[in-house]
Structure 1
Amino acid sequence: MRTNPDPESSPMEQTGAGRSRISALPWAAALLTMVFWASSFVVIRDAGPHFGPGAMALLRSLSAAVVLSLWMLVRRPRFPRSKRVWLIVILWGVAWFAAYVVVLNAAEHSMDAGTASMIVNIAPLIVAVFAGLVLGEGLPKRLIIGVLISLAGIGMITAASFTGVFTVVGLVLSVAAALLYAGCVLIQKHFLSREDSVTVTWAGILAGALACLIFTPNLIGDITAAPLSITLQVIYLGVVPTAIAFNLWGYAIRVLPAGLLSSSSLLVPAIVVVLAWLLLAEVPPPLAAAGGVLCLAGASCAIGPQIIGSLRRR
């Protein structure tokens, strides 16, 4: 029986009062992560036409790597001691911060972005089922029902924003992105959640940036041609939705079950609709608004009781 999940935690965190005090923090980190990730979709709408999939992934990962490297200089990181863990971190980083980002960018260049997003959002269902059956997290009916309700809402948002662009290549890339997303979440939870989350995120992003260096010529050309404001938007993708958000995610996944945590990403399509309305003045069609409500309802069904329980314990 695990009596102390983090041997380096403070004495207060090891007491019952300390645990109840921080029980709501992982959920706060997860929900803030969803807001940051949702903002990335809004930014990509503007930056996508100016940057190719590889060039955008490279600039995004380089920006994140620079920010986290500066952070690593002023903190005391705990590096993994096992070569096996280092190998997993590198493979995870290349898959998460290079392959997934490039494949997702390419998918949105090959088909309607909303449709690509809908297909990618089957990932939480994959994570929930796999984590329940293989990692022993269980498959609560409420979780599965909530995921399915949210997927129906995502379908409505996609139908409302569909532009008619659909290709087999885009479909294959979107499915590949969903599988990469699910695989990376499960790897992080099973193999890396006991490591220092900041160090793991930094090393993973650095590995992804190195893997994306093959796109350097494309990046130089795109930066030369793109307006400065667009380039700054891609840098924002690296600083906020990547460097900051993935650190929050890494903290949350140390504490929360993978299936439950990944279900919080079902909030992203609804948040995107709201952000596009507020920031881009894109008034959502009634069908998209109704789909956003369904996303919120499904996510509330899946993760709401756990969040409320955390707040009550506090």
Structure 2
Amino acid sequence: MTIAPPATRSGWLTFAAVGFTVLAWASAFVGIRAVGATYGPGALSLGRLLVGVVALGGLMLVSRRRWVAPTAREWGFLALCGLSWFAVYNLALNDAETRVDAGTTAMLVNVGPVLIALFAGLLLGEGFPRWLIVGALVAFSGAVLVGAATADGTADLLGVLLCLAAAVTYAIGVLSQKPLLRRLPGLQVTFTACAIGAVACLPFAPSLVDTVATAPAAATLGVVYLGLVPTALAFSTWAYALARMDAGRLGVSTYVVPPVAVVMSAIVLGEFPPLLAIVGGAVCLVGVAITRRR
């Protein structure tokens, strides 16, 4: 099997952007699990998005990139991306992690790349390369192994449904973002979608204010971290990579997130993965490698 390594500086930058995104999003599962006992799903979503908006706005000012006026059609895609991926996804994921352990949540949410690859082939004309399908199936089987190994038996039906809802809105967000990146700067797209998501979550403002007033400093710092790293920075690096890769192929790379999340959980939360989780993580990596084959 021949793996296509990055051949140019741009290729290596894209590879690095994907790697950073994976690590940051894996840490988000751990962070949400850690602060979810203090911040409710709505307050956590709004707090994270507000921090993200401020950070992304600062990045836009520093970059001094010209604002590109979106067309009416592009505003529609921006609204869909902001509402689905930034608002509904965060609400569903935060609520799910109060009911389902982090490893199982990561596994269930990562059915999203399968949906991305499928709908990208149907709606974006990216087709269905043989090795993309094979790699997706292999990586998904690894994600299932990780979920089976880390499940603690406390998941309820509503928690599972919330994880699947997060996966669907994740796929919708990626597919609505891809057409925007053909003309609009990635940072502008991420900032605008994050702002739309924050506005949609404003009804949770009273809950956020009350929680901030009584929450331990560590929990509030966790919310700030979630807004800065997994939201502002990781969504920006994701947009950078998505502008340079097929949506289906990039989406499959996030199958690495569950095993990374399990390792982080062991270090931060003291949740030590069994051998089956390690095997599942290795299978995920093999699947991702297969998708890179030419």
TM-score by length of 1: 0.85
Where does structure 1 lack aligned partners over 5 or more consecutive residues?
1-18, 307-314
Same amino acid, percent of matched pairs: 43
Cα distance between partner residues in 2 of 1:81 and 1:283: 47
Cα distance between partner residues in 2 of 1:95 and 1:185: 10
**Equivalent residue runs for 1:152-191 within 5 Å:** 152-191=141-180
- Secondary structure of the equivalent of 1:255? coil
Cα distance, 1:106–1:248 mapped onto 2, change above 3 Å:
same
**Contact preservation (8 Å) 2:120, 2:127:** yes
Cα distance between partner residues in 1 of 2:248 and 2:77: 21
**Equivalent residue runs for 1:120-159 within 5 Å:** 120-159=109-148
- Find the partner of 1:226 among 203, 215, 240: 215
Cα distance between partner residues in 2 of 1:182 and 1:126: 6
1:78 partnered with 2:67: yes
Cα distance between partner residues in 2 of 1:193 and 1:61: 25
Paired position in structure 2 for 1:55: 43
CA shift for structure 1 position 142? 1.7
Q: Which has the larger radius of gyration?
A: 1
CA shift for structure 1 position 214? 0.5
Letter in 2 for 1:234: V
Paired position in structure 2 for 1:298: 287
Where does structure 2 lack aligned partners over 5 or more consecutive residues?
1-6
- Secondary structure of the equivalent of 1:283? coil
Paired position in structure 2 for 1:197: 186
Letter in 2 for 1:27: F
**Contact preservation (8 Å) 1:47, 1:234:** yes
Which 10-residue stretch deviates more, 177-186 or 91-100?
A: 91-100
- Find the partner of 1:103 among 92, 97, 109: 92
CA deviation profile, 1:269-310 (whole Å, cap 9, x unmatched): 12112223344454321111111111111112123x36xxxx
CA shift for structure 1 position 28? 1.8
Give the aligned CA root-mean-square deviation in angstroms.
1.9
1:214 partnered with 2:214: no
**Contact preservation (8 Å) 1:142, 1:302:** yes
- Secondary structure of the equivalent of 1:109? coil
Cα distance between partner residues in 2 of 1:282 and 1:127: 30
Cα distance between partner residues in 1 of 2:8 and 2:141: 35
TM-score by length of 2: 0.91
Kindly tell me the number of residue pairs found equivalent between the two proteins. Answer: 287
Letter in 2 for 1:212: C
Cα distance between partner residues in 1 of 2:164 and 2:236: 26
Paired position in structure 2 for 1:16: none
